[in-house]
């Protein structure tokens, strides 16, 4: 039997009783491991050897992991500083502990988010208390980092968590072991000879014409290749595109408009009283820019009248102060319902005749506290339908159809209050991992106090859904920061595919 040189060397080095790994065989034959793997698969195809594969996880410290192994994990440094400051007895101001800990930049966030998770203590209204019984020297994550540094096996669960924190790189190593089959033994006994094969075509072979007589080695398309982690679109972006496709498929057109807008469009047009708590500096990001003093006078007049006196024979209005200056102030929009107001009023694209359906998937800004389910900037899936005789059934049916396209079929509704819709409903879905009920949106049918000043004479149902929450239900994230910011899970962002 004639075989290429590497195959012959491999057959001779392999044993019928003792499985040898590709690495052992590579050492013995003096061939590269890739060449041995390729040859082993060739021989396996011929039935001369059996190849057994085993996949194992392997870990390596990232640069950050190495830094923390030396300096201590940020949360432990925070804990030690807290104990030193007396936080095991009485709560101490967070700023003071952070100052004393020497933590800087992103390390502060990292320390704070892991501090409570590890039960090292609690953070409450800017004060930090330390758990007296915690033992920073017995930290499982530090132990796992040290194990990896010493080439020992870390606890797999802890190692997974460290990989998520970006402190360990996880890779899968496939180990292959080769054994001679009976046919392989027979072939060896009958004698195998080397057939010359060429792996690389050279310019010399081309000019001399030698290429016509040689036998070329076959490509091994199963050989391991280095993973490539180039740029790709972010999971949130991919999901936003999927949402847009879905809504366009449902007959909606896309809205577009300013992120920084007049309070008039963000709040007044929505019949939000000017003294509503959501309009104070606590919730909104005010901008130090010129007011928008070119608002359409007629419309502003009708909106002011609705606020002061109400609409229709029984309308009450708010009888509270209303100022045009406040309406002209510019802030970052806290919801994209500002766009709906611009479109419904005819201001953005001219007057619209019913029926109409519009949507946007755009960023909104709220002065919230960052936590596992809240960001200061997030994407809202805004939408509305303008038609005669809309009912709550239409609203619910639209959501059921929309969410079912993303595999979510257990939407629940809860009556709610918005100054601009009546009735109003909050939407909920079930988190696939924790089973918890998660709020995913807010909706309703616009009140006359909103529609009449806008000049809309039929019904309009509308909603604002959170894109990030949809993501949590689709992929089972428990912390939205897994896809954003310094704590994001790079492995996931590199590998996830959005399908819908």
Ligand X SMILES: N[C@@H](Cc1ccccc1)C(=O)O
Nearest-approach distance from CB 479 to ligand X, in angstroms: 22
CB 50 within 8 A of CB 66: no
Q: Which of 25, 141, 122 is nearest to 82 (CA)?
A: 122
One residue of 145, 464, 468, 483 binding ligand X per CB under 6 A: 464
Work out how close the CB of 442 gets to ligand X at its nearest, in angstroms, rounded to a whole number. 4
Closest separation between CB of residue 304 and ligand X, Å? 21
CB 14 within 8 A of CB 203: no
380 marked as part of a ligand binding site: yes
Comparing CB distances to ligand X, the nearer of 235 and 269 is 269
- The partner residues of 299 in beta bridges, in order of sequence, read none
Residue recorded with tokens 């962002």: 493
Residue 320, classified by CB atoms within 10 Å of its CB into exposed (0-12), middle (13-18) or buried (19+), is: exposed
Using CB under 6 A, which of the segments 126-134, 156-164, 342-350, 438-446 binds ligand X? Answer: 438-446
Question: Is 381 annotated as a binding-site member?
Answer: yes
In sign, the C-alpha dihedral spanning 333, 283, 331, 366 is: negative
> Quick one: 35 or 270, whose CB is closer to ligand X?
270
337 binds ligand X per the rule CB under 6 A = yes
CB of 418 to ligand X, least distance (A): 5
152-167 burial, b at 16+ Cβ within 10 Å, e below that, comes to eebeeebbbbbbbbbb
Residue with Cβ nearer ligand X (364 or 488): 364
Main-chain dihedrals φ then ψ at residue 273, nearest 5 degrees: -55, 150
Report how many residues bind ligand X under the rule CB under 6 A: 10
Judged by CB under 6 A, does residue 443 bind ligand X?
yes
Q: Report residue 444 as tokens.
A: 């309703």
User: Is 385 an interacting residue with respect to ligand X (CB under 6 A)?
Assistant: no
**Residue 88 contacts by C-beta under 8 Å, 6 or more apart in sequence?**
82, 129, 130, 131, 132
Q: Does 13 bind ligand X (CB under 6 A)?
A: no
- By CB under 6 A, tell whether 460 contacts ligand X: no
Q: Which of 4, 403, 442, 482 binds ligand X (CB under 6 A)?
A: 442
As measured in angstroms, the least distance from the Cβ of 440 to ligand X is 11
Give the DSSP H or E segment for 121: strand 121-124
Options 375, 418, 449, 481; binder of ligand X; rule CB under 6 A: 418
**Residue 14 near ligand X by CB under 6 A:** no
Question: Which residue ranges make up the site for ligand X (CB under 6 A)?
Answer: 335, 337, 418, 421, 442-444, 462-464
**Which residue numbers belong to the known binding site for Mg(2+)?**
422
């Amino acid at each position: 039997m004639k075989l290429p040189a590497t195959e012959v060397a491999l057959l001779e080095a392999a044993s019928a009783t003792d499985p040898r790994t590709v690495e052992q065989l590579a050492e013995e034959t003096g061939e590269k491991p890739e060449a041995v793997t390729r040859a082993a698969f060739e021989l396996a195809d011929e039935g001369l050897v059996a190849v057994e594969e085993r996949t194992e996880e392997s870990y390596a410290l990232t640069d950050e992991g190495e830094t923390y192994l030396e300096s201590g994990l940020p949360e432990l440094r925070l804990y030690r500083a807290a104990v030193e400051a007396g936080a095991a007895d009485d709560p101490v101001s967070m700023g003071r502990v952070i100052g004393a800990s020497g933590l800087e930049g992103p390390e502060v966030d990292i320390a704070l988010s892991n501090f409570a998770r590890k039960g090292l203590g609690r953070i409450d209204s800017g004060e930090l208390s330390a758990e007296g019984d915690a033992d920073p020297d017995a930290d499982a994550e530090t132990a796992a980092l040290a194990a990896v540094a010493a080439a020992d096996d870390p606890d797999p669960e802890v190692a997974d968590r460290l990989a998520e924190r970006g402190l360990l790189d996880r890779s899968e190593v496939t180990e292959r072991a080769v054994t001679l089959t009976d046919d392989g033994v027979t072939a060896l006994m009958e004698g195998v000879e080397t057939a010359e094969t060429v792996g690389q075509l050279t310019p010399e072979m081309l000019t001399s014409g030698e290429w016509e007589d040689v036998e070329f080695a076959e490509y091994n398309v199963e050989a391991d290749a280095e993973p490539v982690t180039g740029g790709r679109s972010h999971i949130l972006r991919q999901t936003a595109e999927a949402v847009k496709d879905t809504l366009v498929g449902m007959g909606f057109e896309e809205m577009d408009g300013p992120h920084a807008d007049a309070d008039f469009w963000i709040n007044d047009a929505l019949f939000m009283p000017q003294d509503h708590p959501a309009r104070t500096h606590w919730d909104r990001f005010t901008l130090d820019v010129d007011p928008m003093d070119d608002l359409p006078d007629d419309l502003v007049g009708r909106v002011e009248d609705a606020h002061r006196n109400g609409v229709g024979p029984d309308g009450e209005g708010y009888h509270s102060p209303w100022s045009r200056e406040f309406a002209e102030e510019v802030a970052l929009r806290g919801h994209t319902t500002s766009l709906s107001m611009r479109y419904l009023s005819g201001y953005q694209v001219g007057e619209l005749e019913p029926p109409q359906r519009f949507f946007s998937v755009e960023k909104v800004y709220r002065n919230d506290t960052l936590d596992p389910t809240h960001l200061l900037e997030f994407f809202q899936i805004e939408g509305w339908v303008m038609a005669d005789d809309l009912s709550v059934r239409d609203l619910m049916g639209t959501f059921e159809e929309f969410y079912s396209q993303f595999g979510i079929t257990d939407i629940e509704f809860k009556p709610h209050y918005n100054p601009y819709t009546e009735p109003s409903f909050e939407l909920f879905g079930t988190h696939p991992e924790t089973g918890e009920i998660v709020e995913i949106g807010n909706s309703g049918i616009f009140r006359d106090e909103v529609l009449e000043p806008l000049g809309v004479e039929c019904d309009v149902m509308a909603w604002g859904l959170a894109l990030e929450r949809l993501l949590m239900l689709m992929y089972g994230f428990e912390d939205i920061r897994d896809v954003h910011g310094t704590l994001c899970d790079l492995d996931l962002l590199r590998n996830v595919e959005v399908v819908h």
